[in-house]
């Protein structure tokens, strides 16, 4: 049953399976096990980034296409819901209309970009997508009457997802259940289902062709596959899932602005998570997003504890000062790339392969 659910793509490593179980169970019980606004926001961000990074891995890890326009589709999904909700008022009809409109825009743009740009060499395609994403970010900032400009848009969710919605009089497991909890579990269920859909796609015959194109596009073309068509479909599917992750982020934040969805820093975060987790694995999105978001949000707190514990020791408190958390985040990234060149998932699977023959030869 589990094998079918995971599209016959099992973790193939006990340590990886354990890591995935810890992440999934931790996210499932986060509202009750880790109470507090910050912990819940961190868990929600991990969920959004799992889907966003997995959709980008479909493009980069499985097809070998480098695109810098992924945040554009992410932003289209978020702005679609925000614009529909501000124009139509809060409700599921506005969410549905915004999601459908955003998907249509993303599919149209990704199809055009794919058809006109995927025939060029990789570096030129990357530059084209970067130019398109930059132009879209500028457009979103300038169309203030439509997108709210630099201030963005604040909107209301359907009542069931509003923080003021409290269906129960008494706390459940010590936590007051409100609309924010319902919104979180909407994210959790949606991300799990969409991630399983992505896992099914990459393990289908279509996904096998994408991997063949990644390894040797000339050979795939010679066999008879129309590589431009497959690359275009990969671009379209990746854009659709990125758009849905933007929808989920907007529903969680109830706010959309250029900095929350369209900034190039988010694109860099996606690239870092893909490299940390492991390209072409899908599971790397889960492990990488959890590690990166947790480090991004709690590394400063850990450094603060470390600096307090080393108070009185010459130089060390200044070296691990919380103000230098970005420096240490960069150091951790460099070390992870050095020790895990194929990502955490790739390294764990390689270790499992090395240990398997040794275990088989034991008496």
User: What rounded mean pLDDT belongs to the chain?
Assistant: 85
Report the sign of the C-alpha dihedral through residues 265, 269, 271, 275, in that order: positive
Boundaries of every domain in the chain: 2-360
What whole-number percentage of the chain has pLDDT above 70? 94
Lowest model confidence (mean pLDDT) among 35-44, 113-122, 194-203, 342-351: 113-122
What was the pLDDT predicted at 361?
A: 47
By residue count, the chain amounts to 363
pTM: 0.91
**Residue the block writes with tokens 């850990």:** 302
Asked whether the predicted pLDDT for residue 199 surpasses 90, the reply is: yes
Cα-Cα-Cα-Cα dihedral sign, residues 349, 355, 360, 361: positive
Report DSSP state, residue 154. E
Q: Are 63 and 43 in contact (CB under 8 A)?
A: no
Please give the pLDDT value at position 360. 47
Higher pLDDT, 21 or 120: 21
Mean pLDDT of the 189-217 span = 91
Confidence at 356, pLDDT banded by 50, 70, 90:
low
Measured between alpha carbons, how far is 197 from 192 in angstroms, rounded to an integer?
9
At the topology level, CATH places domain 2-360 in ABC transporter involved in vitamin B12 uptake, BtuC (1.10.3470)
């Amino acid at each position: 049953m589990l094998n079918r659910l995971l599209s016959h793509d099992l973790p193939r490593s006990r340590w990886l399976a354990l890591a995935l179980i810890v992440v999934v169970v931790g996210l499932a019980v986060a509202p009750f096990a880790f109470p507090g606004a910050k912990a819940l926001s961190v868990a929600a961000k991990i969920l959004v980034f799992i889907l966003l990074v997995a959709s980008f891995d479909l493009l980069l890890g499985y097809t070998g296409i480098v695109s810098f326009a992924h945040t554009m589709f992410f932003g289209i999904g978020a702005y679609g819901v925000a614009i529909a909700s501000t124009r139509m008022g809060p409700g599921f009809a506005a969410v549905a209309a915004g999601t459908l409109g955003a998907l249509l825009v993303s599919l149209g743009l990704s199809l055009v970009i794919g058809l006109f740009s995927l025939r060029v060499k990789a570096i030129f395609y990357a530059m084209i997508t970067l130019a398109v994403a930059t132009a879209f970010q500028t457009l979103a900032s300038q169309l203030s009457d439509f997108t709210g400009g630099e201030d963005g848009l604040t909107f209301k969710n359907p009542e069931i997802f509003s923080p003021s919605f409290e269906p129960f009089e008494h706390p459940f497991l010590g936590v007051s259940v409100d609309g924010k909890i319902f919104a979180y579990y909407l994210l959790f269920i949606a991300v799990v289902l969409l991630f399983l859909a992505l896992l099914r796609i990459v393990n289908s015959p279509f996904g096998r062709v994408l991997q063949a194109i990644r390894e040797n596009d000339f050979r795939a073309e010679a066999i008879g596959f129309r590589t431009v068509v497959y690359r275009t479909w990969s671009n379209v599917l990746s854009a659709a899932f990125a758009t849905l992750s933007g929808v989920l982020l907007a529903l969680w934040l109830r706010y959309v602005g250029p900095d929350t969805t369209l900034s190039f820093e988010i694109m860099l975060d996606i690239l870092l998570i893909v490299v940390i987790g492991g390209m072409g694995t899908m599971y790397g999105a889960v492990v990488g997003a959890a590690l990166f978001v947790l480090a991004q949000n709690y590394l400063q707190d850990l450094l603060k504890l470390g600096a307090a514990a080393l108070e009185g020791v010459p130089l060390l408190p200044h070296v691990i000062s919380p103000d230098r958390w970005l420096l240490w985040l960069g150091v951790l990234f460099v070390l992870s790339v050095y020790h895990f060149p194929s990502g955490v998932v790739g390294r764990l699977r390689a270790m499992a392969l090395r240990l398997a023959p040794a275990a088989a030869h034991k008496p």
